[in-house]
Every structure is written in structure tokens, then in C-alpha cells.
Structure 1
Amino acid sequence: MLKLVSRNSISIVFLVILIGISSCKNNKANKSTLVTQTNIQPVSITKNSYGTTTNSENVDKFILSNKGGVEVEIITYGGRITSLKTVDNKGNLENVVLGFEDLEQYEKPNPYFGALVGRYGNRIANGKFILNNTEYTLAKNNGENSLHGGLKGFDKVVWKVEDVKDGDKGVLKLSYVSKDMEEGFPGSLTTFVTYTLNADNSLDVLYEATTDKTTIVNLTQHTYFNLSGNFSESIVDHEVEIYADKFVPVDDDLIPLGNLASVDGTPFDFRTSKLVSRDINSKNEQIVIGGGYDHCWVLNNPEVGYRSVAKVYHSKSGRAMEVLTNEPGVQFYTGNFLDGTLPSPNGGTFDKRSGFCLETQHYPDTPNQPNFPTVTLVPGETYSSKTTFKFSTK
């Protein structure tokens, strides 16, 4: 039986159709817009200009934010995380990473705040290594050693934006091509780094690289965290847990001695969560050498691949961070060389131990240490490394 429809009902239906057509037109018009922020999308991305380098290169800033209270700012200069906001146990949204207010500060000498580090994260002794019977000489920028890629590492270049997508995840894919013999490293290295902010308050960092000549690669992320959100406070009141039975002892220049030492009965035992303050000022020789913690931990279960390797908790704010990676090591650094000379965006300066780093990576000086897991990359293979920083509150 057909249902009769009144003239008024037809008018209403026609009006609804017109509204739908208008809405479709508007959606088509907005298709070219970088960001589509709606209530059904948990992660969104916005783009702003961040300035121009001294070499007249344009730098952009991307803000990735989700509905769970995490907002990450990333600039194309050095692929740096300049701000990472997350809520505390009272719902306050605060930045928990050290950084600067403007591009000018990032171009000046600084301790790699928020930066992508490469080609080789950490130190290479005497700025030299031998690969396939050929000796390569690198720039020495840390005494007699090479540190974090040399004079102009990946932290000081403008990365190209390959892809930007929002929706159930916020994805920012960056790329950089390091030419053959740049900073002394062999091979033209094409590198992609993909930042992904997820709805569960985790930030993935995926590193991928290929080369046209046998080379070495060890990429990492050098963000300094202070989960209190107050950079005038030291991070020694943070509780840290690192799943590692061994660490890498170093000499006076922070170059590995070549052996892997047990953490058992030492200040380096973080297998059970403990306050950083507990042992950071101990008379242990390795602590004295580093001025605190500045060592690489040999992470357990490397055969598993991607796994949880560390946790940090700040009781006052209730903020917690878990680190997951497929790397064999993590450099835990407690900001020992911050000296109060760098300005904080909140006013004041960044003093000693106002931030900590958990840099997932291979071990320092691996090219000169035959017993360490290899960092060699050959043509036809793809370097792949993934690290996740997952935030929560207790």
C-alpha cells in the first residue's frame, strides 16, 4: 500500500535535498584544505609558517593534536619537536619538552633540543672509522670525537614534507637526502622520518633509510622531557624504569671501553622503578665521568624487536611516559651539561638537569667496536627503526 505524501512534506524533503547538495559543494571546496577538523576525527593537523633560516630556507611548523589531550608541535628545521603538551592528573594541559620560542634560537648552538639526529647518533671515537678496508674521517665537534652527525647533522637541515594526513591518526612524513661524503659519511642516504600521533596518546617515530653505497646509520630523537611541565624544576624527582641488565661503560671522553657491564649492584640498575635522585650523585666512577647519567643501556630481549623498554613517572603531576622501540639500546641522559645559559619560553633558563632524554639507538662508537651490533647499511637494504612515546596519567 502506497503512503500518501502531503505537499508540505514534499517541500520539506526538497529543502533537505538542497541543504545536502550545498553541504557537498562546501566539502568539495574544502578538499584542498590541509586540515579537516570535525568532531568525528580524533587527530587533526594544522600548518603555520615558522620563519626563514639564515640561508633563506622556509621553515614550517605542524601541530598534531588529538582528543585525548596531546598536542605535538614539529618544525621542518631539524625535524624538531618544539612542544609536546599533555594533561596532568588534574586535567591541566602543559608542555613537557624543552625548547625555544623561535627559529633564531634553534639555529644557534644548542644541545639538540627536540632534534632528529643523524647520520650517526652519539659519539664516534677520534672522528674516524674503517668500513670495507677504507678509513673515513668525520668532522670533530666534541673534542677529538664526532658527535650526533658532525658539524651539520640532520638536526641542522630543513626536511622536506612528503605527506600530511589527519583522521584516526595524525601523520607527518619528512624526508632528507644526505649526499655522498656529507660530513665525511659515504653514500647518498635517503632518509624518511614519519611522526604519527595516535588517538591513544602515543607518538610514533618511524625511521627509514636507503643508500647507494655501503655506509653506517644510527638515527635517534633527542627530545628533552620534564613531565612536571615546570622547567625550573629538576627531573631528579622522576621515577625511571629501564629494562636492561647491562650498560655500556665509557672513558673520560664518554667513548665506550668495549665491554658491557652488569647493572647489578650499581647506580645503573633501573630494572625496578626508582627516583633519579637516588643514585645520580653517587661516587660511582661512571657517574662521576658522566656528571650524572649519560650512558647507553643494553636493552633486554632485542630478539623480540619492537617492545616496551622504559617507563617514567612523575608523582606530583601524575604524568607517565612509556617508551617502546626495536632498537638494542637507549641513551639515558639527565641534562648534566645544561648550564643556565639557554632561555626557557616560560621565563628563566634551562638549568642543569631540567630535562632528561631517552634516545633509542645502537650503541655509541659501534663502527669501531666489532663486538657491538652492526650499524652498517648496504645498497638494496632498508634501515628501519621505530620508537613510540606513550603518555598517560595516574
Structure 2
Amino acid sequence: MQIKQEQIKLNSWKTWKRFTLSNDRGIELSCLDFGGIITEILAPDKHGQKENIVVGYKNYEDYLDNPNFFGALIGRVAGRIEGSSFSLNGETYQLPPNEGENHLHGGPGAFHQTIWQTETFEKENTVGIVFTQQWEDGHNGYPGNLDMKITYTLDNNNQFSITYQGSADKDTVLTTTNHSYFNLSGNLKTGIQKHNVTFDSSQFVELDEALIPTGNKLDVNGTVFDFQEGRNIEDGIHSDNQQNIYAGHGYDHFFTFDKNPGAKVSVVEKNSGRKMIVETDQPGMVMYTSNGLGEGLQLKERESAPYLGVCFETQSSPASIHHEGFPSCFLPAGEDYYSRTVFQFGLVE
């Protein structure tokens, strides 16, 4: 097990830290103190060839803006908040709109655009980084002074875990995630159309044309949203289901897990032989298949294009802010927020 730290000099006045975590079985993960951004994960294929399995920029400067949120920590609220406002305890809170009239992924200067305080640790079978930061009451319109602690840990079982801990001194809303785009083909050799995904979810959240939850939950049975027995992502890309069309011909939907805690998502890419298991204590996830990823961005291995990565954004549902019956984002003052998601890297047996 090993952890390395180095300086990334963007210009004469801006320097970031880059950390590389590596275990004894061929997994290497690189990330930044800026946004907690995961820039690269190297994992062996069935022939032992180590390749990158996440989408990242060729040039570090491009992470400054990062409109696609590649690899970044997301908060205070992951997802879209309708109308950039919400009511809590009789008060209405206005948030900065950053996607049309709506508020996306915490807004500008949120988790994904913050220099985090970092502390590394190295043990016999684990290495990791602890990210900490505070946000003032009223930052981007959210109530409460917020303290966050997020821990990245890599172990010798090829498990990479993210633990999120937080508390605020006022009633507030909070649900966090990581926005890595996975592509198990390795070095973006192909798109993610033939990635086969399996997870237990009998319902997903209906979206309108602006990708805002309508307040309805839809049954997956008989649709391309049924992943209970596994299906290729391309099924939703080629689907004429109105929900897939709204999402830009693919998926950008919140699925509620039937088996929770301990919900599992299995992802298999047959050509490389790679397999990833995502295990979480969260009540659901947004699966986003990079339908809106345009062309022309300089990525590490190639130019960008739609369907180059798939995100598994484990979280509660921001629909709970405006609608009843959804996994809640509400965090009472003084109570501890805790969630954990584990990514297990391996090969198809």
C-alpha cells in the first residue's frame, strides 16, 4: 500500500495537490484537493493490462470550470432543485440558478469547486485521504453553518470507499455524492453502451422535460428501466420511452433501491473482463449515462463524446424537497449526517 502527494501548478498563483493511492493488487487512484476530484483510476483487465476506467481531462486547468462535474464531490444537494428555491420551517430559501431556472449540484463554488483541507493516512492494508471543509450559513442560500468530513479509502481487497460525514447548526438539506464517470472498457476505447448493469429497483422517479421530478414514481416492469435481471445501457439509449427521450436518449434518473441498506449495483464489461460492484447504504442513486456530454473536450485519452461514461450517484432524492414520499434530504440541526459507498473492482469469474 502506498500514497504519493505532488504539486500541480496551474499558474503563478494557483497550485493544487494531487494524491495517488495504490494497493498491492494493481489498483491506482489519483485525485485532487480541488473538489476531491478523482482524475484517474487504473485497474487491470483480464490480461493484466492496467488502464484508466474513469473519464478525466487531459489538462488540469479544465477542472476549474468542469461543467460535467467529472470525478467531483457534490453537495450540499446532489441533483436538481426545482425553481432554485425551497421552504423549510416556514422560511423560503433562494438558491443561485445554474441550469436554466433550476439549481444543480449545490451551485457555484460548492463542493466540486472548493479547495479541501486534506490529511493522508497509511496503514498495513489501507491508504486514504480525509477531506474537511466548512461552509457558512447562507452560502449559496442554504441555511446553517455546515461542517463536512469526507474520507477516501483504498484497501488491498480492491475496494475503494467514500465515507461522508457532516453536521449543521440549523435545520437544513444535505445529500452528497461523487460524480465519477466510469468506463470499464479501459482508456475510453469504446463507449458504455454494452456495459451490463444489474441492481434491485422496482421504481424510478419520473422527470419532466427539464429533468425535474414530477412527484411521481414509475414502475420499471416491462420497461428499459428494469435492471433487476441486468441489461445493457444501450437499451435505454435506443428506447422510444418518453423518459429516455427527456434525458437526451439515455438515463439520468433516480432509482430507489428495494434492498436497503446494503444495496448493490453490478457493472460488467465483457471485452475487458472488468467488473465493478457498487455497495451503498443510500436509499437510491441517479444513474447518468453521459447523454449530455458533447464533443470537443480534450480528455486524457481522446476527445469527448456522448456515452463515454456512466455515473452511479448514490444519494437521497432531491425530489423530497418539494414532494412527499421520497427519500429525504432533510438534516435536523445538530444531527450527524453519515453515508458510505464502496466501489469494488475486479474481474468477471
Structure 1 runs of 4+ aligned residues shifted over 3 Å read none
Structure 1 residues 168-191: Cα deviation after superposition (integer angstroms, max 9, x where no partner):
101211011111111111111000
Is the aligned partner of 1:189 residue 2:146? yes
1-side partners of 2:294 and 2:305: how far apart?
A: 5
Aligned to 1:369: 323
1-side partners of 2:337 and 2:315: how far apart?
A: 12
**How do 1:65-214 residues align onto structure 2 when only pairs under 5 Å count?**
65-214=22-171
Structure 2 counterpart of 1:158, one-letter code: I
Aligned to 2:202: 245
Aligned to 2:310: 356
Please state how far the C-alpha of 1:60 moved relative to its aligned partner: 0.5
2-side partners of 1:155 and 1:72: how far apart?
A: 18
Please state how far the C-alpha of 1:314 moved relative to its aligned partner: 0.2
The structure with the largest alpha-carbon Rg is 1
Q: 2:252 aligns with which of 272, 294, 312?
A: 294
2-side partners of 1:63 and 1:167: how far apart?
A: 17
Structure 2 counterpart of 1:141, one-letter code: N
**How do 1:225-374 residues align onto structure 2 when only pairs under 5 Å count?**
225-291=182-248, 292-302=250-260, 305=261, 307-346=262-301, 348-374=302-328
1-side partners of 2:66 and 2:155: how far apart?
A: 32
Identify unmatched segments of 5+ residues in structure 2: none
Is the aligned partner of 1:49 residue 2:4? no
Contact 2:317 2:328 in 1 (8 A): no
* More helix as a share of residues: 1
Identical counterparts, % of pairs: 35
1-side partners of 2:98 and 2:121: how far apart?
A: 34
Partner of 1:286: helix, strand, or coil?
A: helix
Aligned to 2:344: 390
Partner of 2:30: helix, strand, or coil?
A: strand
TM-score w.r.t. the length of structure 2 is 0.96
Please state how far the C-alpha of 1:251 moved relative to its aligned partner: 0.6
TM-score w.r.t. the length of structure 1 is 0.86
1-side partners of 2:317 and 2:11: how far apart?
A: 33
Structure 2 counterpart of 1:320, one-letter code: K
2-side partners of 1:61 and 1:100: how far apart?
A: 14
Contact 1:311 1:323 in 2 (8 A): yes
Partner of 2:326: helix, strand, or coil?
A: coil
Structure 2 counterpart of 1:212, one-letter code: D
2-side partners of 1:349 and 1:100: how far apart?
A: 9
Aligned to 1:13: none
1-side partners of 2:23 and 2:149: how far apart?
A: 23
Is the aligned partner of 1:378 residue 2:332? yes
Structure 2 counterpart of 1:170, one-letter code: V
Contact 1:169 1:198 in 2 (8 A): yes
Please state how far the C-alpha of 1:52 moved relative to its aligned partner: 4.6
Partner of 2:293: helix, strand, or coil?
A: coil
Contact 1:231 1:350 in 2 (8 A): no
2-side partners of 1:378 and 1:363: how far apart?
A: 17
- Which segment drifts farther, 316-325 or 106-115? 106-115
Structure 1 counterpart of 2:293, one-letter code: L
Structure 1 counterpart of 2:297, one-letter code: L
Partner of 2:112: helix, strand, or coil?
A: helix
2-side partners of 1:154 and 1:53: how far apart?
A: 22
